[in-house]
């Protein structure tokens, strides 16, 4: 079945699959179920066996298998969810093509990569190249807020699983916007909430209270010092650089005429491959306690914690993919990046994993998200050539 990769991307963008990002929300724009239904119908048209794996209500991973004639088994993986659409300056679910770009939420991150993989899979299914490995297309949920879909996916290739996977894969290519470079390393994360308790009072008599926002300001300044002065002295990864930390959200107070009795921030600590996220959490907590100089600080346990993607075990896979990509993209580099992906979770199961796809991270999550169509088409060709030769 011939597949037009641009039309496929437009179809995917037109189907909302917004990740609620931990918020209590409802409505047709949220969750991945409608994209999963589209993918199920797509795989049916190709005549491929498929399997849905429920991760949460209205959130199913879906996989499909194209049997090859060689002993190899590779996985194409792309996530179905997008970030929210508030503040967008283009219609998020009305894909539009202008000046060689397709606009809309998810076009770059990562429905473009998904569309390119689907087009490559359809071409492989039509042509059945000799000595082709078995290719499994895996479309996961909840990448943008927790990687739970990728974690569930790894269960499908564990011994004894009732799954389309006959065995552990030889390698995974994860679709993310890499400008058609091959990413073999990236940072991991540990995220948590930090609370400061004060004492509420009428704002006309602030001396009777204990202002939690003022106290939290000392915590935030300590985090800033840690980022500027301590992280440059920590373990540096040759591809991913130094660790980072950022106070990313802040809230406090109940009204303008009340001394705030409580404030809370969220902390985002990025760890480099080989760095222990739990140790990073403990060390920053100790630094804050020493440097902030205020009482009433409470740290919640981390609500997100993942190691980075290491390049210790994926070198041969990355080199093979880069060699194929350089047939059409001579400037393709093997590199590391600062952001996180499903690849770290998949690699933690023991399967070599790399990241590769069309578009730039600079366009991901933006108000006018777009993808260059020529990169989309070239990505589909590279995925096809890699699977044909793997």
Instruction: Give pLDDT, residue 108.
Output: 98
Instruction: Give pLDDT, residue 390.
Output: 74
Fold classification of 5-186+308-389 (topology level): Aminopeptidase (3.40.630)
Asked if residue 189 lies in contact with residue 249, where contact means CB atoms within 8 angstroms, the answer is: no
Domain ranges in the chain? Answer: 5-186+308-389, 188-306
Instruction: Give pLDDT, residue 274.
Output: 93
pLDDT band, very low/low/confident/very high, at 2 (cuts 50, 70, 90): confident
Q: What are phi and psi of 18, to 5 degrees?
A: -75, 130
pLDDT band, very low/low/confident/very high, at 155 (cuts 50, 70, 90): very high
pLDDT band, very low/low/confident/very high, at 262 (cuts 50, 70, 90): very high
Q: Please state the rounded mean pLDDT for residues 280-290.
A: 98
Asked if residue 382 lies in contact with residue 325, where contact means CB atoms within 8 angstroms, the answer is: yes
| β-pair partners for 140 | 79
Could you give the angle at which helices 373-389 and 315-325 cross, rounded to 10 degrees?
120
- Across the chain, which distance is largest between two alpha carbons, in Å? 81
Buried b (16+ CB within 10 A) or exposed e, 55-86: beeebbbbbbbbbbeeebbbbbbbbbbbbbbe
Q: List the CATH code of the domain at 188-306.
A: 3.30.70.360
pLDDT band, very low/low/confident/very high, at 45 (cuts 50, 70, 90): very high
Q: Is the pLDDT of residue 122 over 80?
A: yes
Q: Please state the rounded mean pLDDT for residues 268-274.
A: 97
pTM: 0.94
Residues contacting residue 58 through CB under 8 Å, at least 6 positions apart: 31, 32, 33
Q: How far apart are the first and last CA of the chain?
A: 22
Q: Is the pLDDT of residue 22 over 90?
A: no
Classify 228 as helix, strand or coil: helix
pLDDT band, very low/low/confident/very high, at 72 (cuts 50, 70, 90): very high
HSE-CB at 377 with a 13 A cutoff on CA atoms is 9
Instruction: Give pLDDT, residue 202.
Output: 97
Q: Return mean pLDDT, the chain.
A: 97
Q: Please state the rounded mean pLDDT for residues 175-196.
A: 98
């Amino acid at each position: 079945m011939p597949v037009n990769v641009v039309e496929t991307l437009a179809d995917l963008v037109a189907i909302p699959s917004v990740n609620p990002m931990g918020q209590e929300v409802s409505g047709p724009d949220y969750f991945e179920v409608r994209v999963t239904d589209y993918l199920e119908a797509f795989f049916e048209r190709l005549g491929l066996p498929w399997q849905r794996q429920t991760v949460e209500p209205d959130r199913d991973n879906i996989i499909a298998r194209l049997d090859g004639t060689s002993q190899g088994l590779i996985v194409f993986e792309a996530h179905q969810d997008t970030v929210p659409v508030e503040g967008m300056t283009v219609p998020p679910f009305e894909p539009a093509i202008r000046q060689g770009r397709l606009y809309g939420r998810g076009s770059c991150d990562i429905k473009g990569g998904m569309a390119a993989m689907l087009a490559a899979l359809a071409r492989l299914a039509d042509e059945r190249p000799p000595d082709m490995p078995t290719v499994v297309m895996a479309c996961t949920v909840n990448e943008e807020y927790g990687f739970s879909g990728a974690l569930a996916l790894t269960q499908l290739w564990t011994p004894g699983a009732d799954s389309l996977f006959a065995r552990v894969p030889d390698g995974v290519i994860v679709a993310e916007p890499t400008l058609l470079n091959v990413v073999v390393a990236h940072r991991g994360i540990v995220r948590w909430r930090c609370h400061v308790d004060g004492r509420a009072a009428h704002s006309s008599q602030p001396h009777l209270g204990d202002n939690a926002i003022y106290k939290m300001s000392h915590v935030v300044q300590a985090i800033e010092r840690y980022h500027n002065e301590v992280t440059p002295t920590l373990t540096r990864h040759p591809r991913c650089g130094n660790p980072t930390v950022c106070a990313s959200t802040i809230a406090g107070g109940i009204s303008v005429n009340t001394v705030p009795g409580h404030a809370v921030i969220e902390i985002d600590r990025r760890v480099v491959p080989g760095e222990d996220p739990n140790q990073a959490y403990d060390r920053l907590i100790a630094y804050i306690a020493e440097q902030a100089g205020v009482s009433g600080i409470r740290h919640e346990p981390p609500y997100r914690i993942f190691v980075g993607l290491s390049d210790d075990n994926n070198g041969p896979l990355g080199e093979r993919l880069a060699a194929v990509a350089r047939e059409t993209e001579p400037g393709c580099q093997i590199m590391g990046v600062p952001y996180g992906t499903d690849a770290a979770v998949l690699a933690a199961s023991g399967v070599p994993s790399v990241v590769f796809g069309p578009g730039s991270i600079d366009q991901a999550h933006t108000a006018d998200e777009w993808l260059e169509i020529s990169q989309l088409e070239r990505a589909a060709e590279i995925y096809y050539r890699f699977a044909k030769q793997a």
